[in-house]
Chain A
């Protein structure tokens, strides 16, 4: 009891200037503080997902490209957050608009006084919390592309693509649902972004992987597929656990308050789906490949997480197991199928984020009585077309201007040396001190 009082005291102290202005804090002030604190915790949980992506992508690619893949992941979070502050937030949440495209102006400015604080979202969070939570999501969508085009895309082209995509395509697409646009009016549902974040990133990953082409040596004569092994499975595993950890903020924060019932249900569905995704991928990969593949069950847990993201608050716990399990099966079959189609995705980003994002969005229509499968399907198609056209446009312009791919020589030597003149593991192989 005393401990609770001290804790509340600290919380009030943190936001004391605004709360105590009118004298004694009320119960509403206390709830506001708790809600807002949970939203900020969720924000930094989503932040840690970027370390997860960086680790996973580094682990599933070759050691000669590690500096490059990490460089991209670090750049992306900067690009994502800065563009979101400059224009993304106001494109995604333009306030009153025609439902398709709206823009509330450059930069971010909090409404003055309680309008930017307790009254901003009925005591759930402040204006700035809203911005920073959403900014972390924006950066996530851009990161998804990085893995699919890894080991052969030119750094400059990738950075330009990401900037344009996350500054314009992602927020405009997001406004259709989360900004109360036309799909929201139709009743389309996407709780935390199976479509709005994962598929939006996934479509760009698909277009990127096709337009940039496969890595040298991946596809031989007469349809022979030669795997290019990831160089660090422990790192990939760390990445997946970090992503799962961060997902508690991604989904848990998408409740948009600390509502005990809502957040705890979302935690349960999220966890069950991730666990079921692992089992689904395990059984499928064991059956298809005769041996259970670690990288596949890593993808399986992410598949379950992406799958449940659209309906984490409206799908029952037992159905979330089914959603996750099916996602785990789908992701393994999809990884193998994409390889047969010669779409080279070193980390399985397209299968995890696009294919399972679509599945998760449709699953809301299947497992939730309040939502219609046809509207969910319409949303998938609408986002698909918009993102395909948007990303194809940007990638094509880049392809015929500065080029998408590094030279053949550079690809063979590795992008670490080619793009950065730097090694990831200097001194690891030869026992020498210089």
Chain B
């Protein structure tokens, strides 16, 4: 069992979601996140004064899967991310999971994740 945490661009979320569903991955959580990557700070203007935005809006996607689905998840995320330009597009982290419990039934482990 693995937990995959992907920090992606907000505008890519609909496409990533579609790719996950295509690969029979139906269970995931997303949260709004802010982060600083390698990108040049973005300039915004408010009432005549420009200012730098360094913490940019990101989406944090979390998917817990059995080992055989890890590649599918990674593929779903990477296929969407644009590769051109030198602007960072986010990262994917893969972590081991000790256990998992489904709250309704009390099932544990691989059963609960699937």
Are these two chains actual partners, yes or no? yes
B51 A296 Cβ-Cβ under 8 A: no
Q: Which of B20-28, B42-50, B99-107 contacts A (4 or more CB under 8 A)?
A: B42-50
B45-66 Cβ-contact flags toward A at 8 Å (1 or 0): 1111111000000000000000
Contact check, A339 vs B45: say whether CB atoms are below 8 A apart.
no
Cα separation A58 to B48 with both chains bound (whole Å)? 20
Q: How far is the CB of B56 from chain A (nearest CB, A)?
A: 15
The answer to whether B51 and A289 have CB atoms under 8 Å apart is: no
- A3 within 8 A of partner (CB): no
CB–CB A339/B51 < 8 A:
no
**Pairwise interchain contact A295-B47, C-beta atoms closer than 8 A:** yes
- Chain A residues whose C-beta falls within 8 Å of the C-beta of B48 in the assembled complex: 285, 288-289, 293, 296, 332, 335-336, 339
Q: Tell me how far the C-beta of B13 lies from the nearest C-beta in chain A, rounded to whole angstroms.
A: 19
Are B49 and A339 in touch, CB under 8 angstroms? yes
Which of B47, B50, B51 has most A Cβ within 10 Å?
B47
Bound: A139/B47 CA distance, A? 28
Measured between beta carbons, the chain A residues less than 8 angstroms from B46 are: 227, 229-230, 293, 295
Residue A226 interfacial (CB < 8 Å): yes
Residues of A25-63 contacting chain B, CB below 8 A: none
Judging by beta carbons under 8 Å apart, are A293 and B47 in contact?
yes
Cα(A289)–Cα(B50), bound, Å: 8
B53 to chain A, nearest CB (A): 10
Taken residue by residue from 314 to 335, chain A's Cβ proximity to chain B (1 for < 8 Å, 0 otherwise) reads as: 0000000000000000001001
Q: Which residues 331-346 of A have a CB within 8 angstroms of B?
A: 332, 335-336, 339
Most buried by A among B45, B46, B48, B50: B48
Contacts of B49 in A (CB 8 A): 225-227, 336, 339
- A sample of 5 more A-B contacts (CB under 8 A), given A227-B51, A293-B48, A336-B49, is A227-B47, A230-B46, A285-B48, A289-B50, A336-B47
Give Cα distance in the complex from A265 to B50, angstroms: 41
| Pairwise interchain contact A335-B51, C-beta atoms closer than 8 A | no
Say yes or no: A290 contacts B51, CB within 8 Å.
no
- Which of A227, A336, A339: most chain B CB closer than 10 A? A227
Give chain B's interface residues, CB within 8 Å of chain A. 45-51
A348 contacts across to B, CB distance below 8 A: 47
Shortest Cβ distance from residue A337 to the other chain B in the assembled complex, whole angstroms: 9
User: Are the CB atoms of B45 and A291 closer together than 8 Å?
Assistant: yes
A225 CA / B45 CA spacing, docked (Å): 12
Name 14 A/B residue pairs within 8 A (Cβ), A-sorted.
A227-B49, A227-B51, A289-B45, A289-B48, A289-B50, A290-B45, A293-B45, A295-B46, A295-B47, A296-B48, A332-B48, A336-B48, A339-B48, A348-B47
Q: Please, how many angstroms separate the alpha-carbon atoms of A348 and B51 in the complex?
A: 19
Q: How far is the CA of A288 from the CA of B49 in the complex (A)?
A: 10
Chain A nearest CB from B85 CB (Å) reads 22
> Measured between alpha carbons, how far is A332 from B48 in the docked complex, in Å?
8
Instruction: List, in ascending order, chain B residues with CB within 8 A of A225's CB.
Output: 49
Given the complex of chains A and B, what is the CA–CA distance between A165 and B109 in angstroms? 71
Closest chain-B Cβ to A120's Cβ sits at a distance in Å of 46
* Complex CA–CA separation, A206 to B111 (angstroms): 68
User: Within the complex, what minimum Cβ distance (angstroms) separates A154 from chain B?
Assistant: 25
Inter-chain contacts of A227 with B (CB < 8 A): 46-47, 49, 51
Q: Which residues of chain A are within 8 angstroms of B51 by Cβ–Cβ distance?
A: 226-227
Chain B residues closer than 8 Å to A332, beta-carbon distance: 48
Contact partners of A296 in chain B: CB under 8 A: 47-48
A229 to B51, CA, bound (A): 11
Chain A nearest CB, measured from B112 CB (Å): 23
Nearest-neighbor residue (CB-CB) of B48 within chain A: A336
Q: Which residue of B lies closest to A227 (CB)?
A: B46
The 7 closest A-B pairs by CB, nearest first: A227-B46, A336-B48, A227-B49, A289-B45, A225-B49, A289-B48, A227-B51
B52–chain A nearest beta-carbon distance, Å: 9
A130 to chain B, nearest CB (A): 39
Which chain B residue shows the least CB distance to A332?
B48
Please give the distance in Å from B57's CB to the nearest CB on chain A.
14
A332 to B47, CA, bound (A): 8
In angstroms, Cα B49 to Cα A291, docked, is 11
Instruction: List CB contacts (< 8 Å) of A212-259 with chain B.
Output: 225-227, 229-230
Q: Which residue of B lies closest to A291 (CB)?
A: B45
Whether B45 pairs with A335 at a CB distance below 8 angstroms is no
Measured CB to CB, the closest approach of chain B to A234, in angstroms, equals 16
Minimum C-beta distance from A260 to chain B (A): 41
For window 292-325 of A, CB contacts with B under 8 Å fall at: 293, 295-296
Cα A225 to Cα B51 in complex, Å, equals 8
Report the separation of the CA atoms of residues A290 and B44 in the bound assembly, to the nearest whole angstrom. 11
Give Cα A335–Cα B49 distance, bound, in whole angstroms. 10
The docked-state distance in angstroms from the alpha carbon of A227 to that of B50 is 8
Q: A220 to chain B: closest CB distance in Å?
A: 10
What string of 1s and 0s marks CB contacts (under 8 Å) between A103-136 and chain B? 0000000000000000000000000000000000
In the complex, A293→B49 CA distance in Å? 10
In the complex, the chain B residue whose C-beta lies closest to that of A229 is: B46
Q: Could you tell me the distance in whole angstroms from the C-beta of A373 to the nearest C-beta in chain B? A: 30
